[in-house]
Amino acid sequence: MKVLVPVKRVIDPYAKVKANAEGNGIDTTGVKFEINPFDEIAVEEAVRQKEKNPAITITVVSVGPDAAEEQLRKALAIGADEAVLIQTDEDLDSRAVAHELAAFAQELQPQLILMGKQATDNDANQAGQRLAAKLGWPQATFACAMEFAGDNLTVRRETDEGEETLSLPLPAVVTTDLRLNEPRYIALPGIIKARSKPLTKRPRLTDVKSQVRTVKVEQPAPRQAGVRVNSVAELMAALRDRGAL
């Protein structure tokens, strides 16, 4: 059984970032990049499923710059079997990424696409849903548990109303939530083994253009110091002055 895990190269979510000089993006000098943490959970889940069922083969794919090889190697070190880098230096929007992934999935024919519910850089939370729609496959988003059951997949997902359990026929798209698992430490022998696993680079499969354009990126205004008031009356007056009441 083939499992496809798309992973995105993102700025380390714990890094302190600032706007670049042109004001159209983030200044990436000296900034560390990581696998999108939700995607790392997807890789971990795929590897855990493979440990239960050795017939699974895991392909990781990234749509991004050459440097994304680093994140793909990490996914291989965690336990994926092969990696594909669809090369582009453009910052594609969710729709364009979904088109790319759909074209790749039609070629690979996986039974399951497992991916992060969103990427921590732009938090769009769209690629998985758009991909499922494009392929016409069932989808389960925000998975917090999953299990194969015959030809179906059982997925528990967290919603505002409570926990939902879904049964999906395969092939399907599942997007992962934080609680699905906790990614393992990457064992050193796995890192060495990843060096010899196949990593293929290829050009884009479609010519779909981004429809979303980043117009401006700016630093949030620094927070102003507060004012101390001594009584409720003073507080009310201050609020009235500022037009808050």
Partner 1 sequence: MEQGGSFFGTTPARITTVADTSSDERLMIETAEQFSLNEVLPLVDRLEKQEPGLMPSLIRKAGDLGLCGIDASDQYGGLGLGKNLAARILEFMSLDAAFSVTYGITSGISQLGLTLFGTDAQKAQYLPRLTSGEWIGAYCLSEPNSGTDALSMTTRAEKRGDHYVLNGTKMWISNAQWADFFLVMAKVDGEHVTAFLVEKSMPGVSISREEHKMGLKGSSTARVILENAEVPAENVLHEIGKGHQVAFNALNIGRFKLGAMSMGPARQAIMHASGYAQDRKQFGQPIAEFGLIQQKFADMAMFYFVAEAMLYRTGANIDRAFETMGGTPDGNRKAAEEYAIECSACKVFTTEAEAAIVDDCIQVYGGYGFTEEFPVARIYRDARVSRIYEGTNEINRIFLADRLVRKLGDGAKAAGDSFISELAGRTMAKFDKNQEILGACSDLLILTFAEQSARLRAQQEGEYGQMCYDRFLNWAQPRAAIFAQRVLGEAVALPAPRPGHTEPLARRLYETRRPS
Query: Residues 150, 189, 203, 222: which binds partner 1 (CB under 8 A)?
Result: 189
- String marking each residue 94-133 x if it binds partner 1 according to CB under 8 A: ----------------------------------------
Using CB under 8 A as the binding rule, whether residue 156 contacts partner 1 is answered as no
- String marking each residue 9-48 x if it binds partner 1 according to CB under 8 A: -----x-x--------------------------------
- String marking each residue 193-212 x if it binds partner 1 according to CB under 8 A: -xx-----------------
Residue pointed to by tokens 């790319």 = 100
Q: Judging by DSSP bridges, how do beta strands 139-149 and 152-159 pair with one another? A: antiparallel
Query: Residues 123, 151, 162, 185: which binds partner 1 (CB under 8 A)?
Result: 185
Instruction: Please choose, out of 53-61, 66-74, 110-118, 143-151, the segment that lies near partner 1 by the rule CB under 8 A.
Output: 66-74
CA nearest 81: which of 194, 230, 216? 194
- Could you say which DSSP state residue 26 is in? B
Which is closer to partner 1, CB of 62 or CB of 139? 62
Contact predicate 138/170, CB 8 Å: no
Contact predicate 155/176, CB 8 Å: no
Which is closer to partner 1, CB of 69 or CB of 82? 69
User: Beta-strand (E) ranges in 170-208?
Assistant: 172-176, 199-202
Note the Cα 173 to chain centre separation in Å. Answer: 13
Q: How far is the CB of 195 from partner 1 (least distance, A)?
A: 7
Using CB under 8 A as the binding rule, whether residue 83 contacts partner 1 is answered as no
Distance CA 38, CA 41 (A): 5
Helix 94-108 / helix 127-135 crossing angle, nearest 10 deg: 50
Distance CA 115, CA 203 (A): 21
Contact predicate 175/142, CB 8 Å: yes
Enclosing H/E stretch for 179: none
Instruction: Please choose, out of 39-47, 68-76, 81-89, 231-239, the segment that lies near partner 1 by the rule CB under 8 A.
Output: 68-76
Using CB under 8 A as the binding rule, whether residue 225 contacts partner 1 is answered as no
Q: How far is the CB of 185 from partner 1 (least distance, A)?
A: 5
- Positions touching partner 1 (CB under 8 A) are 14, 16, 69-70, 73-74, 77, 185-189, 191-192, 194-195
